Structure 1
Amino acid sequence: MDWISIANAVINGVVIGMLLALPALAITLVFGIARFPNAATGDYMTLGAYTTIASQMFLGGSIVTAVLGAMTMTAAVSLLMYFWVFRALAERSHVSRLIASIGVAFAVRSSITFFAGQDQYVVDLPLVRAWNFGGIRILPTDLYIVGAALVALLLVFCVMYLTPTGRRMRAIADSPELAAASGIRARRVMIFLWAVAGAFCGLGGALLGIKAVVLPELGWELLMPMFAGVILGGIGSPVGAVLGIVTFSIAQEVATLFVGPAYKVVLAFLILLCVLLMRPQGMFGRPIAAR
């Protein structure tokens, strides 16, 4: 095992982690504001990947147009499911909404399978040669993926911390009752939340489709690693969600060098367990006292 192999694994882990940071941020925003883990996140990603491919196949145009179409589609579906399902269950328990989100995930996946079947698809991109720096390989496509993810993350963080809408989101996340007493309209915040969550899932799915073969189970299989990254970073912490999923992805890719692809998830979850034993609230989570 040499340092070049480890460096290449770290680079690949950063790329995968950055594109998964988009849906991971959606998970932590929904959890922090709507108060339940959204199990449909992975299938929204799959929808984004398939929408990108469908846009290329039937409408043509550039990859940028296809990705924007994917973001629009997943944002629309996310809002539809909010108005149809999650708003009606707003006063129900967390478990009820979690189960409902699993049902939404199956509905989205079944719809994709009905129209697209089980065939494998790939995003149509021109072939590019990797840059080689003494054995360290970097694909230009990976730089575009990381750049797109960084721009999207920077945009949403600016909205969250520099705009009135972001302040309302953080107020509801801290205390829904106090926010309501202060005159903050939760409905507008929820609409914005689900639109952003859907768009980020769509962007993450489109970027993932560039890196991987697209199947109906693509996003569902990544749901547990995304939840693990969010927990590692600290539930409810947007910055923690991003850094947690990047750390988890790097751990998975480096683990491949030692235990093989079949067991990399096991080793990554072992690292997660060790971190949580030392810091139960995660890297950036706040300890909560209970009485």
Structure 2
Amino acid sequence: MDWINITNAAINGIVLGLLLALPALAVTLVFGIARFPHAAVGDYMTFGAYTAILVQSFMSASLVAAALIASAATAFLSLFFYAWVFRSLSQRSPVSSLIASIGVAFAVRSVITFFAGQSQYVIEAPLVRAWNFSGVRILPTDLYVAATAVLALAAVFFMLHFTAFGRRMRAVADNPELAAASGIRVREVMITLSVIVGAFCGLGGMLMGFKAVVLPELGWELILPIFASVILGGIGSPVGAVCGMILFGISQEIASLYVGASYKLVLAFVVLLLVLLIRPQGMFGKIIAVR
């Protein structure tokens, strides 16, 4: 296998990894702050993709407007399910929230299937010619997707580390009881977290529409790689989630050169297992002593 094919596969893997880093970061934030793995993020992505298609079909809006509306609509959906489902489960076992999130995922997917059916859709984008550098091909569309994902990720990291609200979020993640005793409004943090989760998943779903055909199962089929990347990077580490997803994406695309698209996910999980054998806590995770 020549280096040109490997380079092209790696570029595709980086773009895919940056795109899926949006829902992966959402999963990490929920796990770090709300203390449960949110299984509905994949179907939130699907909702965002269908919203963008709907906006394009009936409003003839630009891609930027479609992305903004898809993000806002999915943020509202996430906030709705927080208020209706997850807020009442916040004092119960994380398993209860996990099972509820699976139920939310099925509910969202069922509603989408009821209205949209199983027909295949695509997000309309201008046709562009790939740039060719001695066999290395780069699509301008992929650059736009990657740049959008990077800007969104950078905005959240800036908020987490350089704003007062980000410090409150990290305080709730470290110790919610102490944060509440210190005067931090935990519910306000949870509401904002739900908005971020929805906005990121909606944007990620819309961007995924550039790379794949949109079906009701689009996001559900991605939930396993997303969870695996969070584990690979280190559970609860935002930087780890992003880096883990990029490594996972590159592994998948390069693996497809050797075993075909049907088995690329298997070899990507082999990479995950090898990394965890060397570093069980993940690339950026911390070892926590249990007494």
Give TM class, smaller chain. Answer: over 0.9
Whichever residue aligns with residue 236 of structure 1, its letter is G
The ranges of structure 1 where at least 4 consecutive aligned residues each deviate by more than 6 angstroms after the TM superposition are none
Does 1:126 pair with 2:154?
no
Distance 1:166 1:158 in 2: 8
The residue aligned with 2:3 is: 3
Whichever residue aligns with residue 144 of structure 2, its letter is Y
The residue aligned with 2:279 is: 279
The residue aligned with 1:104 is: 104
The residue aligned with 1:267 is: 267
Aligned residues: 291
Distance 1:277 1:180 in 2: 38
Unmatched runs of 5 consecutive residues or more in structure 2: none
Matches within 5 A, 1:1-291: 1-291=1-291
What per-residue deviation string (whole Å, max 9, x for no partner) do you get for residues 157-199 of structure 1? 1111111110000011111121112111101000100000100
Distance 2:267 2:122 in 1: 29
Give secondary structure in 1 for the equivalent of 2:120.
Answer: coil
Give secondary structure in 1 for the equivalent of 2:132.
Answer: strand
Distance 1:265 1:125 in 2: 28
CA displacement at 1:211 relative to structure 2: 1.2
Distance 1:186 1:198 in 2: 18
Distance 1:284 1:178 in 2: 25
Distance 1:125 1:187 in 2: 39
Distance 1:101 1:256 in 2: 31
CA RMSD of aligned residues (A): 0.6
Q: Which piece of structure 1 moves more, 5-14 or 263-272?
A: 263-272
CA displacement at 1:277 relative to structure 2: 1.1
Distance 2:78 2:13 in 1: 28
Distance 1:44 1:220 in 2: 9
Distance 2:290 2:147 in 1: 41
Distance 2:8 2:135 in 1: 8
Distance 1:153 1:38 in 2: 19
Give secondary structure in 1 for the equivalent of 2:219.
Answer: helix
CA displacement at 1:237 relative to structure 2: 0.5
- TM-score, normalised with respect to structure 2: 0.99
What per-residue deviation string (whole Å, max 9, x for no partner) do you get for residues 112-165 of structure 1? 011111000001111111010000000000000000001101111111111111
Whichever residue aligns with residue 108 of structure 1, its letter is V
Distance 1:225 1:210 in 2: 19
Distance 2:126 2:71 in 1: 22
Whichever residue aligns with residue 219 of structure 2, its letter is G
What per-residue deviation string (whole Å, max 9, x for no partner) do you get for residues 78-103 of structure 1? 00000000001111111111000000
Distance 2:119 2:289 in 1: 50
Give secondary structure in 2 for the equivalent of 1:218.
Answer: coil
Whichever residue aligns with residue 265 of structure 2, its letter is V
Whichever residue aligns with residue 73 of structure 1, its letter is A
- TM-score, normalised with respect to structure 1: 0.99
Identity of aligned residues (%): 69
Distance 1:23 1:156 in 2: 12
